[in-house]
Amino acid sequence: MKNSMSSTQSTSSTESSTPHTHQNRRTYEKRLQRLFNTIKQFPTLETPITYPKSYIQPTPENRYPRANFHDIIYANVNAMVPNIDVGYHSGKSPEEMMLHIELCKSYINSLTKDYMSKCNAQLDKIYETESKKNIIKNFDITRVDNLPDELKNIIFEYLLPETKIDYFLAKHPNYEANLVSLLNVKKTRLFRKEIYDRYYTSDIYGYHSKRRRCIAEDSTMARNLTRKDQFVGDTNRLFMTFKNAVPITQEDHTFFKTRALKILKTMIYFGRKPVKPPKAPKPEKASKTKATRKPRTKQTPTTTTTE
């Protein structure tokens, strides 16, 4: 029995190792699944509880309260507790039932450690975000304009997308009015194609898209707008939707902030006045010297005498 207990403790220590990097996440999940499959081989009368009884007291407004996370987790964890009476009834030995108990403890312990590490990672993210906010607050982005272009481009590579958005909004406060005033028929077609083909796509607004949960329901765009001010207003609303999208994951945060920056830069680009190159000065024509005319002398008629 002692040998079996020592073997279970060694297996539990290896199976309950918490992943610390993204590389061994898949290995950890496979080990956890293998541990759970081993637990399923032991006899039990319980099945996964998908609709547990809610502990919320019904009210006249909510007569049938739905189960929440606590109800589901609490009910299923209790359902996984080994039933020794069922083990004896199934003819299991004490060593096998002890192994069952140790495996269940190891499985729950592994889930707890992984959950705690994820919570600690979120705490570290708070500290990192607050330190970045302090750095950005003390960084005066307006001074960048006075730097050479090469140095300015290097600095911009290290800025976050949200910082770049704030910079362009401060530099071009009238971007929407400029876009309405400068769009003609040809530029409106190009602008509309640019927005629809690149940003108003099915990977966001598709029915099965997971990113749709990050944005508001009323952020759709009409495709048959005839007036350019309406289309510009819809485009600006799309930009604000992406800018204020809910960052459910870090990938979603980066995705929507990057797209919002691209939409803003597109609106600024189409709304800027084309700078006409200065006309080359016309070459000065060489001044022609007027020829001085000689004054005309009156010719006296000659008379002939006849003899």
- In this predicted model, what pLDDT tens digit does every residue of 166-199 receive, in sequence order? 888 888 888 888 888 877 766 777 777 777 777 7
Is residue 86 in some structural domain?
yes
In a domain, 253, yes or no: yes
Q: Is residue 291 situated within a structural domain?
A: no
10 lies in the same domain as 96: yes
Question: Beta-carbon neighbour count of residue 247 at 10 Å?
Answer: 13
Provide the pLDDT for residue 101.
92
The reported pLDDT for the residue numbered 103 is 92
Residues 17 and 121 in one domain: yes
Residues 9, 124 within the same domain: yes
Domain that residue 196 falls in: 172-270
187 shares its domain with 257: yes
Q: Is residue 190 located within the same domain as residue 93? A: no
Look up residue 298 and give its amino acid. Answer: K
CA–CA distance, 299 with 282 (Å, rounded to integer): 48
112 and 222, same domain (yes or no): no
Side-chain-facing half-sphere of 271: CA atoms under 13 Å = 21
Asked if residue 10 is part of any domain, the answer here is yes
* Assigned domain for 63 exists: no
Domain total for the chain? 2
Residue 16: what pLDDT?
A: 44
Q: Assess whether 14 and 106 both reside in one domain.
A: yes
Cα distance between residue 191 and residue 19, in whole Å: 47
Residues of the chain with pLDDT under 70: 1-23, 45, 54-57, 141-142, 185-186, 217-220, 222-226, 273-280, 282-307
Q: Is residue 286 part of a domain?
A: no
pLDDT at 26: 79
Residue 142 forms part of a structural domain: no
129 and 12, same structural domain? Answer: yes
**Residue 158 belongs to a domain:** no
226 and 104 part of one domain: no
Residue with tokens 């070459």: 283
| CA distance readout (Å), 169 to 56, 166, 173, 228, 270 | 48, 5, 5, 21, 15
My answer on whether 18 and 108 are in the same domain is yes
What is the per-residue pLDDT for 68? Answer: 81
For residues 129 and 183, state if they share a domain: no
